[in-house]
Amino acid sequence: MQWCTPRMVTVVVALFAGALLVGCSGANVQGEYPDRRRGDATPYGNQRESVFGPGGLSLGGGGSRTQEDAGGGGIGVNGFLWRASLDTVSFMPVTSADPFGGVIITDWYSPPEAPDERFKMNVYILGRALRADGVRVAVFRQVADARAGWRDAPLAGETGTEIENAILTKARQLRADVLSN
């Protein structure tokens, strides 16, 4: 007995086509345009959304948010600390700014009054609350050496803490400005 006869192939193809048609017959297809989203009770026209979520992108905070949630709808960190950090390091060239991770990295900057030294900063915003421990700054300093190029050098005192305090002061001013309006 041979399994691959022309009649057997025809029967198998017919059974497969029939099973395919039966499988498609149960689809509940409607010929009308949907006016609501799946699982949503509001019509399309009454609700606006964006890629930043229902609240949109709000760098200044405001609204009815509490201090714990004053970070803006689209960024993962406190909006006031983010804006204050960018304002504070704006004199340096910014290499990378990640509002979702809360990291700002600057490139090396040489002040005009001291061309033989340069500085670099990494600013880390650690949460959505406007708190004193919500921001960390790492400052790096290098000095020019005629033989070896740039060498790492120690910083004077509490440079990172002073910049953190400047950022916090600016963030509190921004928050006070938003709340007074």
Q: Give the model's pLDDT for residue 38.
A: 60
Q: Give the model's pLDDT for residue 7.
A: 82
Domain boundaries defined on the chain? 67-180
Give the alpha-carbon dihedral of 8, 11, 12, 14, to 10 degrees: 160
For 53-65, what is each residue's pLDDT tens digit?
Answer: 665 555 555 554 5
Of 52 and 64, the one with more pLDDT = 52
- DSSP for residue 92: S
Residue 52: pLDDT band by 50, 70, 90 thresholds?
low
Biggest distance spanned by C-alpha atoms of the chain: 98
User: Which residue bears the tokens 């005192």?
Assistant: 157
- Say if residue 73 is exposed, middle or buried (CB neighbours under 10 Å; 0-12, 13-18, 19+): middle
CB neighbours of 143 closer than 8 A, spacing ≥ 6? 116, 117, 150, 151, 153
Residue 67: pLDDT band by 50, 70, 90 thresholds?
very low
Per CATH, which fold does 67-180 belong to?
Answer: Alpha-D-Glucose-1,6-Bisphosphate; Chain A, domain 4 (3.30.530)
